[in-house]
Chains A and B, each alone.
Chain A
Amino acid sequence: MSPTWVFISELVLVGLVFLMFYAILGLFLVYLERRVCAFIQNRLGPNRVGPQGIFQTIADLIKLLFKELFIIKNADRFLFNLAPFIVIIASLMAIGSLPYAKGLQAIDFNIGIFYILAVTSLGVVGILLAGWSSNSKYSLLGAMRSGAQIISYELSVGLSMLAIIIFSGSMQLSVIVESQANGWWIFKGHIPAFISFIIFLIAATAETNRGPFDLAEAESELTAGFHTEYTGIRFAFFFLAEYMNMFLAAALATTLFLGGWMPLHFGIDTQFNHIMDFIPPVVWFFGKTFFVIYIIMLFKWTFPRLRIDQLLTLEWKYLLPINLFNIVLIAFLVLMGWHF
């Protein structure tokens, strides 16, 4: 076969693999959330459909597929149909660029982090389109609030990521993971990296409209949010995109702060490192990601919701100044060489 055909078929195969991965991981995450929240609340989660209830999400998906997809009068039909796809495309593009193990990366940009930030900002466009084209004032209000929230918190996310970029000196994701071969940045960068990690976690849950920051879409708030007018499979897309955004946030936290697929090393070439190397890198990556996902789920199920003005106060008056100060501190540390 000619080289172009090989190239194209390779692209198609990789794309299919990623779509399958995305879908299966999405189904699994929904099931995991229901189980985790059930255990926290002293009850069993789904446990009847399939062994231990693992087919519950598939049953829900089949139910959603049967729902009627109705068209709203006076709604902008093209944008209304387009909005769910934009959110899915944005999160899929971002997940496709993460390093899952040494060499197991679809594409290795030299501006990896910058690319991820740019692509996740497309998700905001999807949400605003959803609210606008629904032709309902409550959806529009919800979408505006959600849009304001996401745009504000993108600043904090970006600045936290900047901290690690300063430490490791590169924006390329594989280089950042390789630079943690002698210890994860959360340990090597001691206090400033830890502060950045905490801020990243808080800002990332706010980015994904989850947890205590979910007033734009919560059931007991008065406006039901930007996805009120969506039924059936289109609603399923928004739902799925939200869970995969959570996975993306956790995977980013793992890659930047907790070492990605790198096992737990302290120093170079010690006996401890050799023992840690026995566990395969993919297991390390997913283990760490699920640990961070568990923390994000704990946030959601423990805390009451923040009001919109408290949310924005948190960002602009607390997280942003601390972040800026942190960046200056880290730059100074790197200059002086006072990190490990």
Chain B
Amino acid sequence: MSEATETRPAAVKGRSQFEDALARFRKNKASVCSVVVLLSLIAASLFVPAWLPWDHEEVDFTAFRAPPSIETGHYFGTDQNGRDLLARTLYGTRVSLAVAALATTVSVIVGVLFGAIAGYVGGRTDQVMMRFVDILYALPYILFVILLMVVFGRNVYLLFVAIGLLVWLTMARIVRGQTLSIRQREYIEAAHAAGLGRTAIIFRHVIPNLAGPVVIYAALTVPQIVATESFLSFLGFGVQEPLTSLGTLIAEGANVLEILPWLMWFPATALVLLLMSLLFIGDGLRDAFDPHERT
């Protein structure tokens, strides 16, 4: 892993930090493969359903519990209700991804604001805010998600806003740490001297300079949320009929694993591919942009 310090022939033009990091990322084979896998999964989930003769809810009365086969056109087989599993898997992937995107956005907004304010204001405010984070860290957030599910009924979108509101803790910690060092920089002092208020400095000078670490940890949050979503859906709290997600499909498939094995294997493979590629991309980004943070 010494790419970072590798010497290159004297370059004609200087390279930005970003280009440097991109070059490092490209050398990470696992990450590059993962990008390809992830993009294919996204493209498949978006475009392939239009080409399929079956909708994810459509019942094929000639094929109940049909095993995967090329002749019938059900490449992934069908479930007990005659619904095409390929269409359902792709649809489930789409729902899982959409939900992850939504929850990640929420968690980024909350985490960045919380961390930047704690780090910039500092002092007692910082202590209280970060102690609060420490404590929430100790409590398993799934409990609160389930509690919220009980309260709000099974409203999917609300659910994922709720997950987003609960998984911003790591982001807040990272952002606070970065803010502490940004605060010491000359340009903040200059902004201060120019008479800018606290809020303006946080929004105009601190937050834009946090972009790097925020992107990295947002990338690491996505697989966590995909996993949480399937976990909740598996238990019956997440996405419900007529919507479906990978977790819901796996839960249905797990019940009949012995007799209709394909009902679990295909969604499970999709989920594992998704999780693995997201994980590798997040790790690759972290290694490329933030070589000191390696663990």
Chains A and B bind each other: no
Q: What residues make up the interface of B, taking CB atoms closer than 8 Å to A?
A: none
